[in-house]
């Protein structure tokens, strides 16, 4: 396991570093300065690769922060940018001097510009626009610079809003045409009516947008600033305010304590989007999608009006410990008002857990399929659900069905628990090293020490460009052992680092207890390596068999992030490869022959080229007639390529099988329906079907 004791000793030493005191500072500014000081101290002491806090570091923080403030370059002008740029090599000095001048100035300038822009859109959209003039706009911020001044910014926003109105007009015209084709008694709207409605929709959109901007607090902006400082170390070192750390824990554990409703913010209301089956809301029964939540009342507490409240703040009121009550005052779709009292409980987010299916294969025998969306673990409960235990259960379930091979799907799996991936790798080999971990200059090797092999049959692992971190460890280990055939896109994501959360409060002197909580740091403390000595950092894992992918011409991965850590190599470990040799070349050749003849993959190839070309289009013509013609072509191609990877294949899936114990008959039927829908999606997955065919080839090869 990771040398956590060493980390604690290093970090604990920071407790003896005293901060200067200044009673003249406001409480919030003092808290921010203490937070930044402690953040830098912790990073310098515990980060895998500490950075010199110098002008280069300052420049990196500056560029990251400017992207955070105005990535799309729609608020600042070159005038404001030049003012802020005077600090490009001073941020390091400010960190040493505990100054926030740059941060405070940036907020003042941003607020002024937001107020200026917010005064533009209503006036610009109050009258019909000129749709005949030949002019264009470049939307992609990477292909343009800041405009010179507010006069140019005004003209940019005129074009920017015109672009959106023109698009709304064309969309409305197309929708009306489709409706008329099915109902020729429909009264068609005139162009003037369509144009006016389009301007009004855009106006409301920006009215909502600027209301949301008003709700962004100084604390929110400061969290972003702190995150830019941490991200200059590497892209995965981040600052988490307390509520964001709670959200992260929910994602990695797959469960939360609350009512089990998905919410959104719309037009100043908190709207119910969906209800999680089996959750307290589902069991209580009264809360329904599209209900608008007006008030939230804790047991024996006063009602809190959530109208115009930020979504994250409303969610904090609605979530709560298991067994506690919360009453929601909601407006139903029919306009009636209802008080709904719900007892909070543990909500399991089933879509985030491992699940399996069985593919019919008359020639080779049934094939098992396991989808693992993430390497989850409950950090707050050792007895909680985790990915390794669930994988064992799914494998046993498939073995009981006498499957001939197993496909493990790690596509879009961004990683998670390092111990979890080591345990899962151990399910497929006898014993041996799984991954090498560097902690500074010290090397640790994480082993599978259990000689039992839960599954020793044919194994295929699916990856794509979004398979990262722990996914890459599992794929790399199985590839190095020649235990599995790795199939996927040109490469995986390329994240070869390990992070750990540190509670900043633990390292802040008692003098500042009234400022707590400060939040947490997720910092890179280790770098992992394959057992063959190479790192997955930047390079990722190159599959044994590469299949066409719609994103194959798009830059995706660690190498495309700002300031990633470098690729390095260490000595390989001793390990024994799997006793059955894989003829990868033959499998790849058979697959390539099928792919070349497959119309589905031909469509994927065309879609990837179209997507790449479309991203390169810089200037958008704002003449309505020109835009209509271009939109018509784009719509035809978009419709053609929208389902490039999704059309009916010959993949056949056995009827859904359910867990042995289901307490609620209603929940059982809902789960069954969701499994049926999931199976339907699998049968329409073109690349999955080819991976199934590769598994059939592998089974046949190993039989011989």
The token pair that represents 198 in the structure block: 């389009």
The token pair that represents 491 in the structure block: 């490469």
Which candidate in 291, 423, 448, 480 is catalytic? 480
Tell me if 239 is assigned to some domain.
Answer: no
Return the closest-CA partner of residue 330 out of 388, 376, 382, 275: 275
d(Cα 398, Cα 403) in Å, to the nearest integer? Answer: 6
Return the closest-CA partner of residue 437 out of 528, 498, 500: 528
171, 200, 232: which is the final residue of a domain? 232
My answer on whether omega of the bond before 537 falls inside 30° of 0, hence cis, is: no
**Do the beta carbons of residue 472 and residue 498 sit within 8 Å?**
no
Average pLDDT, the chain: 88
358 in helix, strand or coil? strand
d(Cα 11, Cα 507) in Å, to the nearest integer? Answer: 7
CATH number, position 306: 2.30.42.10
Residues in the chain: 704
Question: Using 50, 70 and 90 to split pLDDT, how confident is the model at 15?
Answer: very low
Which candidate in 159, 255, 495, 527 is catalytic? 495
Give CA separation, 485 vs 21, 211, 373, 405, 408, in Å: 60, 52, 19, 12, 10
Q: Write down the pLDDT at residue 255.
A: 63
**Do the beta carbons of residue 292 and residue 269 sit within 8 Å?**
yes
Q: Output the DSSP codes for 626-678.
A: HHHHHHHHHHHHHHHHTTTTBS--S--BPPP---S--S-HHHHHHHHHHHHHH
Question: Contacts by 309-317 with C-beta closer than 8 Å and gap 24+?
Answer: 309/270, 310/215, 310/265, 311/263, 311/264, 311/265, 311/270, 312/243, 314/263, 314/265, 314/270, 315/263, 316/243
Give CA separation, 154 vs 28, 88, 202, 221, 618, in Å: 35, 27, 17, 25, 20
Q: Which residue has the higher pLDDT, 185 or 576?
A: 576
Question: Using 50, 70 and 90 to split pLDDT, how confident is the model at 364?
Answer: confident
Instruction: Give the helix/strand (H/E) hosting 690.
Output: helix 686-703
179, 199, 232: which is the final residue of a domain? 232
Whether residue 366 sits in one domain with residue 356: yes
329 in helix, strand or coil? strand
Q: Which residue has the higher pLDDT, 431 or 16?
A: 431
Q: Which residue has the higher pLDDT, 106 or 318?
A: 106
Tell me if 43 is assigned to some domain.
Answer: no
**Do the beta carbons of residue 683 and residue 653 sit within 8 Å?**
yes
Return the closest-CA partner of residue 178 out of 642, 627, 635, 622: 635
Three-state secondary structure string covering 439-489: ECCEEEEEEECCCCCCCCCCEEEEECCCCCCHHHHHHHHHHHCCCCEEEEC
Which candidate in 231, 417, 469, 608 is catalytic? 469
Residues 469-523 pLDDT 10s: 999 999 999 999 999 999 999 999 999 999 999 999 999 998 888 988 999 999 9
Q: Among the listed ranges 112-116, 326-330, 608-612, 627-631, which one has the minimum average pLDDT value?
A: 608-612
Over residues 378-389, mean pLDDT: 81
Tell me if 300 is assigned to some domain.
Answer: yes
Question: Using 50, 70 and 90 to split pLDDT, how confident is the model at 69?
Answer: very high
**DSSP-derived pairing of the beta strands 367-371 and 405-409:** parallel
Count of structural domains, the chain: 3
Helices (H), 555-598: 584-597
Over residues 339-344, mean pLDDT: 92
**Do the beta carbons of residue 140 and residue 618 sit within 8 Å?**
yes
CA angle at residue 235 from 230 to 236, to 5 degrees?
Answer: 80
Residues 390-400 pLDDT 10s: 999 999 999 99
Whether residue 423 sits in one domain with residue 329: no
Highest-pLDDT range among 53-57, 177-181, 210-214, 237-241: 53-57
Q: Which residue has the higher pLDDT, 674 or 217?
A: 217
**Do the beta carbons of residue 523 and residue 549 sit within 8 Å?**
no
Whether residue 529 sits in one domain with residue 451: yes
Return the closest-CA partner of residue 398 out of 427, 432, 422, 376: 427
d(Cα 456, Cα 427) in Å, to the nearest integer? Answer: 9
Q: Write down the pLDDT at residue 667.
A: 55
Tell me if 46 is assigned to some domain.
Answer: no
CA angle at residue 433 from 428 to 439, to 5 degrees?
Answer: 135
495 given a catalytic annotation: yes
Number of Cβ atoms within 10 Å of the Cβ of 150: 16
Question: Using 50, 70 and 90 to split pLDDT, how confident is the model at 25?
Answer: very low
Whether residue 335 sits in one domain with residue 357: no
Q: Write down the pLDDT at residue 267.
A: 65
Q: Write down the pLDDT at residue 228.
A: 96
Tell me if 507 is assigned to some domain.
Answer: no
Question: Using 50, 70 and 90 to split pLDDT, how confident is the model at 316?
Answer: confident
Return the closest-CA partner of residue 296 out of 255, 339, 254, 257: 339
Whether residue 218 sits in one domain with residue 295: no
Whether residue 408 sits in one domain with residue 261: no
26 given a catalytic annotation: no
**DSSP-derived pairing of the beta strands 292-298 and 269-275:** antiparallel
d(Cα 366, Cα 655) in Å, to the nearest integer? Answer: 13
The token pair that represents 136 in the structure block: 């264009």
Whether residue 555 sits in one domain with residue 412: yes
Whether residue 209 sits in one domain with residue 141: yes
Point out which residues pair with 255 in neighbouring strands. 348
The token pair that represents 676 in the structure block: 């049926």
Residues 591-636 pLDDT 10s: 999 999 998 899 999 989 988 888 777 789 999 999 999 988 888 8
Tell me if 699 is assigned to some domain.
Answer: yes
Q: Output the DSSP codes for 249-270.
A: HHHHHTEEEE--EEEEEETTEE
Whether residue 198 sits in one domain with residue 286: no
Residues 529-549 pLDDT 10s: 999 999 999 999 999 999 999
Return the closest-CA partner of residue 85 out of 63, 67, 56: 63
Question: Using 50, 70 and 90 to split pLDDT, how confident is the model at 263?
Answer: confident
Whether residue 485 sits in one domain with residue 401: yes
Q: Write down the pLDDT at residue 665.
A: 46
Tell me if 238 is assigned to some domain.
Answer: no
Tell me if 33 is assigned to some domain.
Answer: no
Whether residue 537 sits in one domain with residue 483: yes
Q: Write down the pLDDT at residue 570.
A: 96
Per-residue burial over 688-702, b if 16 or more Cβ lie within 10 Å, else e, is: bbbbbbbbbbbbebe
d(Cα 377, Cα 387) in Å, to the nearest integer? Answer: 7
Is the pLDDT at 291 greater than 60, yes or no?
Answer: yes
**Do the beta carbons of residue 231 and residue 237 sit within 8 Å?**
yes
CATH number, position 487: 3.90.226.10
469 given a catalytic annotation: yes
d(Cα 485, Cα 127) in Å, to the nearest integer? Answer: 62
Q: Write down the pLDDT at residue 505.
A: 92
Q: Write down the pLDDT at residue 656.
A: 59
Return the closest-CA partner of residue 306 out of 322, 317, 291: 317
Burial class (CB in 10 A: 0-12, 13-18, 19+), 246: middle
* Residue 319: alpha-carbon gap to chain centroid: 22
Whether residue 187 sits in one domain with residue 263: no
Return the closest-CA partner of residue 141 out of 67, 215, 208: 67
- Which range of residues forms the domain containing residue 71? 51-126+135-232
Per-residue burial over 597-627, b if 16 or more Cβ lie within 10 Å, else e, is: ebebbebbbbbbebbeeeeeeeebbbbbeeb
177, 198, 232: which is the final residue of a domain? 232
Residues 408-461 pLDDT 10s: 999 999 999 999 999 999 999 999 999 999 998 899 999 998 889 999 999 999
């Amino acid at each position: 396991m990771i040398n956590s004791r060493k980390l604690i000793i290093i970090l604990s030493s920071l407790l003896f570093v005293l901060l200067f005191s200044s009673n003249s500072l406001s409480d919030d500014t003092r808290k921010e300065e203490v937070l930044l000081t402690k953040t830098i101290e912790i990073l310098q002491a515990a980060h895998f690769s500490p950075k010199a806090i110098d002008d280069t570091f300052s420049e990196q923080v500056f560029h990251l922060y400017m992207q955070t403030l105005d990535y799309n370059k729609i608020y600042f002008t070159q005038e404001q940018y030049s003012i802020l740029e005077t600090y490009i090599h001073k941020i390091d000095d400010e960190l040493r001097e505990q100054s926030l001048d740059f941060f405070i100035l940036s907020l003042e300038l941003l607020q002024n510009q937001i107020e200026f822009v917010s005064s533009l859109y209503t006036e610009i959209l109050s009258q019909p626009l000129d749709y005949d003039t030949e002019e264009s706009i470049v939307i992609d911020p990477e292909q343009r610079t800041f405009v010179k001044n507010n006069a140019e910014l005004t003209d940019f926003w005129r074009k920017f809003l015109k672009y959106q109105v023109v698009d709304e007009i064309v969309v409305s015209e197309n929708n009306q045409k489709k409706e008329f084709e099915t109902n020729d008694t429909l009264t068609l709207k005139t162009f003037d009516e369509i144009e006016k409605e389009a301007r009004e929709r855009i106006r409301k959109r920006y009215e909502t947008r600027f209301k949301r901007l008003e709700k962004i607090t100084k604390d929110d902006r400061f969290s972003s600033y702190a995150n830019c400082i941490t991200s200059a170390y590497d892209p995965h070192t981040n600052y988490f305010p307390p509520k964001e750390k709670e959200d992260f824990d929910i994602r990695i554990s797959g469960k939360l304590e609350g009512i089990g409703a998905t919410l959104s913010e719309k037009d100043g209301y908190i709207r119910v989007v969906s209800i999680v089956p089996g959750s307290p809301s589902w069991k209580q029964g009264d809360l329904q999608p599209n209900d608008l939540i007006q008030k939230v009342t804790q047991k024996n507490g006063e009602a809190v009006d959530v109208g115009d409240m930020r979504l994250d703040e409303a969610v904090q009121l609605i979530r709560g410990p298991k067994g506690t009550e919360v009453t929601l005052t909601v407006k139903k779709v029919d306009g009636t008002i209802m008080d709904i009292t719900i007892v909070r409980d543990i909500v399991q987010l089933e879509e985030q857990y491992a699940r399996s299916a069985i593919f019919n294969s008359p020639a080779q025998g049934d094939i098992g399929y396991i989808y693992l969306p993430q390497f989850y673990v409950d950090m707050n409960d050792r007895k909680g659900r985790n990915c390794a235990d669930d994988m064992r259960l799914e494998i046993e379930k498939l073995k009981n069905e006498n499957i001939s091979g197993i496909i493990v799907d790690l596509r879009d799996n961004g990683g998670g628990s390092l111990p979890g991936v080591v345990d899962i790798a151990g399910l497929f080999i006898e014993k041996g090293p799984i991954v090498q971990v560097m902690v500074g200059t010290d090397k640790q090797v994480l082993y599978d020490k259990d000689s039992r092999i839960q599954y020793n049959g044919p194994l295929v692992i699916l990856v794509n460009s979004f398979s990262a971190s722990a996914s890459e460890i599992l794929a790399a280990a199985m590839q190095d052992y020649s235990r599995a055939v790795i199939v996927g896109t040109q490469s995986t994501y390329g994240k070869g680092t390990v992070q750990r959360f540190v509670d900043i409060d633990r390292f802040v002197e008692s003098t500042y207890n009234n400022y707590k909580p400060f939040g947490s740091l997720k910092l890179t403390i280790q770098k992992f390596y394959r057992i063959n000595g190479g790192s997955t950092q930047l390079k990722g894992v190159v599959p044994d068999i590469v299949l066409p992918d719609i994103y194959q011409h798009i830059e995706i991965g660690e190498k495309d992030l700002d300031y990633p850590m470098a690729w390095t190599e260490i000595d390989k470990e001793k390990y024994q490869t799997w006793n059955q040799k894989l003829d990868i070349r033959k499998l790849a050749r058979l697959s390539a022959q099928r792919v070349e003849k497959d119309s589905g993959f031909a469509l994927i190839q065309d879609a990837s080229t179209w997507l790449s070309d479309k991203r390169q289009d810089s200037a958008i013509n704002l003449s309505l007639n020109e835009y209509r013609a271009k939109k018509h072509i784009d719509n035809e191609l978009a419709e053609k390529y929208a389902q490039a990877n999704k059309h009916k294949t010959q993949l056949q899936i056995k009827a859904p099988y359910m867990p042995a114990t289901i307490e609620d008959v209603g929940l059982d039927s809902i789960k069954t329906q969701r499994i049926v829908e999931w199976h339907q999606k699998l049968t329409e997955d073109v690349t999955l079907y080819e991976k199934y065919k590769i598994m059939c080839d592998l089974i046949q090869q190993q039989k011989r």
